[in-house]
Structures are given as structure tokens and as C-alpha cells.
């Protein structure tokens, strides 16, 4: 059976390379790269998150307790991610360099850990739990949201 989460992991690789760029942009305080990174998160990562929140997580939710299981945990981490991104955006608008660096670094750390949990724990679990019918529905759900990271080589 073809792994249905592979596409999300490939998108994660693109996000991870953007995080390395973000870290460099924080070191040199490159406003242009910081704004470009925020644009990438607004456009591409929003679509990636939708694939997880609207397609994969609902398919998995029957297998886990709604408030304490791994899906609830990943959803809460998505909320934290959006909060950090808002803080970074506001700090950048105000030209508050200290806050830009603090929130930028929080995003880098938070997302590296979050992606590792999804890739190493949640996705392997999903591959064991999902049945044929669910996989077909997930694949078409992903397709209807679309390719969000052209660098991810969707094949
Ligand atoms: Fe993800």
C-alpha cells in the first residue's frame, strides 16, 4: 500500500529548509527574507495545515480520544504555531528587533519539534491505522486542496 502521508512528509522537508533560511535571516536581520518567510507560511503552510486538519486528522480522530490523544496534541501545536507567526508578523511591522528574533527562533524550535513528532510518530501510526477506503478519500482530499510547495516534487 502506498503511504498516504508521504506527501505531507515531503512538504515538511520544504518547511524545514525554509526554517534554516529563517534562522539565517534572524542572524543577519534580513527583513526581506523574514517577510518572504511569512508569505511562505501564509500561502503554502496554510494549505499544508489544511491537508492535516481537514483531511488526515478527521480520518484518524475515530481512533483516538478527542481531547487528549495525538491528534488533539497536534491541533494544539498548530494553534501555538499560528500564535508565534502572528507575534512575529506584529513585531516585524513595529520594527521590534528583539521580539522578531525571539518569536522567529520560537517558530524555528517549535516547528522542528512538531514536524519530527508528525513524521516519526503520528504518520507511522496513521499508516498502520488507515484502511483502503480512507486512503482513497485522503488522497483525493489532498488533491482538492492542491500542491502547496512546488519544491516538494509531488511526482
Ligand atoms: Fe505538518
What domains can you pick out in the chain, each with its CATH number?
A: 6-143 (1.20.120.520)
Task: Give residue 51 CA to ligand 1 midpoint distance, Å.
Answer: 9
Task: Give residue 32 CA to ligand 1 midpoint distance, Å.
Answer: 25
Task: Give residue 24 CA to ligand 1 midpoint distance, Å.
Answer: 22
Bigger pLDDT: 67 vs 101: 101
Report the share of the chain in percent with pLDDT over 70.
97
Report the share of the chain in percent with pLDDT over 90.
84
Whether the per-residue pLDDT at 71 is higher than 70: the answer is yes
pLDDT digits (tens, 9 = 90+) for 86-128: 999 999 999 999 999 999 999 999 999 999 999 999 999 999 9
Whether the per-residue pLDDT at 66 is higher than 80: the answer is no
Burial class (CB in 10 A: 0-12, 13-18, 19+), 72: middle
**Euclidean distance between CA atoms 109 and 19, whole angstroms:** 9
Task: Give residue 10 CA to ligand 1 midpoint distance, Å.
Answer: 10
Give yes or no for a contact between 48 and 11, defined as CB atoms under 8 angstroms apart. yes
**Euclidean distance between CA atoms 111 and 117, whole angstroms:** 10
Bigger pLDDT: 74 vs 61: 74
Whether the per-residue pLDDT at 155 is higher than 70: the answer is no
Lookup result for grid cell 507560511: 41
In the prediction, which pLDDT does 64 show?
A: 83
Task: Give residue 38 CA to ligand 1 midpoint distance, Å.
Answer: 16
Give yes or no for a contact between 104 and 34, defined as CB atoms under 8 angstroms apart. yes
**Euclidean distance between CA atoms 108 and 69, whole angstroms:** 24
Amino acid at each position: 500500500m502506498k503511504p498516504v502521508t508521504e506527501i505531507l512528509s515531503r512538504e515538511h522537508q520544504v518547511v524545514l529548509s525554509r526554517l534554516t533560511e529563517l534562522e539565517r535571516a534572524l542572524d543577519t536581520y534580513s527583513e526581506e527574507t523574514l517577510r518572504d518567510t511569512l508569505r511562505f507560511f501564509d500561502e503554502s503552510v496554510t494549505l499544508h495545515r489544511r491537508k492535516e486538519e481537514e483531511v488526515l486528522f478527521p480520518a484518524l480522530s475515530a481512533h483516538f480520544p478527542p481531547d487528549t490523544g495525538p491528534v488533539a496534541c497536534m491541533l494544539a501545536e498548530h494553534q501555538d504555531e499560528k500564535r508565534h507567526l502572528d507575534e512575529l508578523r506584529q513585531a516585524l511591522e513595529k520594527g521590534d528587533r528583539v521580539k522578531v528574533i525571539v518569536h522567529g527562533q520560537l517558530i524555528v524550535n517549535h516547528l522542528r519539534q512538531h514536524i519530527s513528532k508528525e513524521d516519526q510518530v503520528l504518520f507511522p501510526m496513521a499508516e498502520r491505522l488507515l484502511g483502503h477506503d480512507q486512503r482513497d478519500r485522503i488522497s483525493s482530499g489532498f488533491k482538492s486542496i492542491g500542491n502547496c510547495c512546488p519544491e516538494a516534487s509531488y511526482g
